[in-house]
Structure 1
Amino acid sequence: VPIVIHTFHGHLLQGYFSKTTTNIIRKFESWLAKFSTALVAVGSEVRNDLISAGVGKSEQFSVIPPGVNFLPEVDREIARSRLGLPQDVPVVTFVGRLTKIKRPDRLIQVMKLVKQAMPEVVLLIVGEGDLLSSIEKDTKEFGDSVRVLGWRDDLENIYAAADLSLLTSDNEGMPVSLIESAAAGLPCVATDVGSVCEVVINNETGLVVESSATALTAAIVELLSDEALRRRMGQAALKHAEKNFTVERLIEDHISLYKKLVVSTLQSDNE
């Protein structure tokens, strides 16, 4: 095989396994990189983390972020009506896999703190995973103010109904849910992990904070208390998504990489 491309959609080197297992994975990925013509990372921070871990060389890497299909626009009032939400309450949404690395326990801690400052806030939890049933149990105390919706195929309604999106993860590659919410014109509050800072431009399209319930709560309350700031950040998020995260850009980046590799291989064969 003349050309081998290995793409890292994220990485498993932080927060998933024990140190021993993580070290085995790191060594295996490093070994695979030696047999790869090119390595593709979904974000610059993902690339940097891999290089720091001894996986691949900098000259092997290309950074190609994800691209998403932009969802149809839905009127806010219509979206809230479809979801059975009041029109006059602040709504926060979390979209993602309900697994340990996403820290849904932190999500619940944050909700408790936010409601102390803003009792009327509603949280929508969208997604499935091995922690779904425990989250349903742990959020019963909130009543209708926390709604665990499971998997949904109408994210356009979820994002249209929300005032901001939230990410509480301990580890991420390039989170597609944040790209989707940005493409829907939503500001975001997120933990500073992986390539999150490449999706959420801090203080411009949202707020990126340390991985603590206190920091997340402060950021959420700040945004929910300032409609003008939310609107400004949401508009900036949409522009950022339109410029950097379209499917067309994703395709163009891959075609460009493939052409570059083919030309390089042909030149090497002719030498």
Structure 2
Amino acid sequence: MIDMKKLFSFNSELNKVTGVQKVLLDIHHAVKDTYNAKIVGTIPYGQVNKNHGITQSEYIQFKNPFIFYNSIVIVHERKFLLMFWLMNHLLFQRIKLVYVHHNLFNDHRLLSVMPKTVVSISERTTRNLIEFFRVPPQNIHKIYNCVKEKHPSQRTYHINDKITLVYPARINQVKRQDEVYKQLKGKIDKRIQILFAGEGPNYQALKSLVKEDEQFKCLGFVNDIIGLLQQSDYMMLFSSKEGLPITLIEAAMCYTPIVCNDVGGNCEIARNGQNAFVANDWEELIRTVNRLPTLDATTYMYMANRSREIYEQNFTFEKFKNNYLNLLNHLT
């Protein structure tokens, strides 16, 4: 390994709190004791979302391309790959580029100049890289996202007049909270309550849509999502597309059974019949949600404990850290 080599994690949307930024921060914390690691964004430090906990000393606002000379740069947005390719080929910056492929894409292939080191976060993102972007398989390194251990209490089964499903995600078109509400309204058991946790461009519209409906509630941004997951009976996600959702890993860490659909890497975390109920259309989702009040204690506790086992087997911070350090230490 090169002694304390410079390493930069680059993202232009550090004003937001999404899974991409969470992964960026996890990588930063995994490597900062081994590398001279900094976080680079395009916005002033004052605009960086405070929930990230990024200190001013570890943040650099991108103004000078020459700061990257002879360094490792981890890029989390495909749209900047061409820029870094030009830095290397026109400005001779000797950057060792690592691109993290967070989702499934089917556009701008010619502008997506893939480097020799690409991280895929799931089986489906790997297929997307090979089949659409034509990345050679030997250039792809699958590393699962992670969640740092928060030592949650083991879940206990309780009989309750109300069953809560927390839907933690950015409120936008891809996560489909508005469509979930429209499809499920008036069709689910009165004992069910769905909690939408998060902010985003569609938040006000969703809040207006839900209004005073007692079975659905908009919580806004929730700082302690782990606490909310532990208080809820199930975690729910029904997006139109995904990469490998951090919220599903958080649910698994918290012994929380899951209700979701089979998109992206969901089913690498949420395994149907084990720790999850997987539904693939609206009618199946309605039937699945309506089954929940009748679930017996033995089945529920099996699913809860299986969630935790899947987390411990695949998605711990220690496994994540070792995988990234092994990758970075062998860059040539």
**Superposition RMSD in Å:** 2.1
Alignment of 1:79-228 (within 5 A): 88-112=161-185, 114-115=187-188, 118-142=189-213, 144-210=214-280, 212-228=281-297
Q: Output the amino acid matched with 2:136.
A: K
- Equivalent residues, number: 236
Report what 2:110 is aligned to.
27
Q: Residue 256 of structure 1: SS of its match in structure 2?
A: helix
Gap runs ≥5 in structure 1: 14-21, 78-85, 266-271
What is the CA deviation profile of residues 173-217 of structure 1, one whole-angstrom value per residue up to 9, with x for unaligned ones?
00001110111011111111111111111211102221x221112
Q: Residue 67 of structure 1: SS of its match in structure 2?
A: coil
Alpha-carbon distance change, 238 to 74 in structure 1, aligned in 2, over 3 angstroms = closer
Alpha-carbon distance change, 4 to 157 in structure 1, aligned in 2, over 3 angstroms = closer
Report what 1:82 is aligned to.
none
Contact map agreement 2:153 2:254 (CA 8 A) in 1 = no
Contact map agreement 1:127 1:149 (CA 8 A) in 2 = yes
Report what 1:57 is aligned to.
136
Q: Residue 109 of structure 1: SS of its match in structure 2?
A: helix
Alignment of 1:32-51 (within 5 A): 32-33=113-114, 36-51=115-130
Contact map agreement 2:243 2:265 (CA 8 A) in 1 = yes
CA distance in 2, matches of 1:12, 1:149: 30
Report what 2:86 is aligned to.
none
Alpha-carbon distance change, 56 to 123 in structure 1, aligned in 2, over 3 angstroms = same
Q: Residue 96 of structure 2: SS of its match in structure 1?
A: coil
Contact map agreement 1:43 1:65 (CA 8 A) in 2 = yes
Q: Residue 171 of structure 2: SS of its match in structure 1?
A: coil
TM-score (norm 2): 0.66
Q: Which moved more, 1:45-54 or 1:245-254?
A: 45-54
What is the CA deviation profile of residues 214-234 of structure 1, one whole-angstrom value per residue up to 9, with x for unaligned ones?
111222223342033222111
CA distance in 2, matches of 1:76, 1:199: 18
Runs of 4+ in 1 over 6 A off after TM superposition: none
Q: Residue 268 of structure 2: SS of its match in structure 1?
A: helix
Report what 1:19 is aligned to.
none
Q: Residue 202 of structure 1: SS of its match in structure 2?
A: coil
Contact map agreement 2:104 2:264 (CA 8 A) in 1 = no
Alpha-carbon distance change, 191 to 136 in structure 1, aligned in 2, over 3 angstroms = same
TM-score (norm 1): 0.80
What's the offset of the Cα at 1:88?
3.4
Q: Residue 125 of structure 1: SS of its match in structure 2?
A: strand
> Which structure shows the higher helix fraction?
1
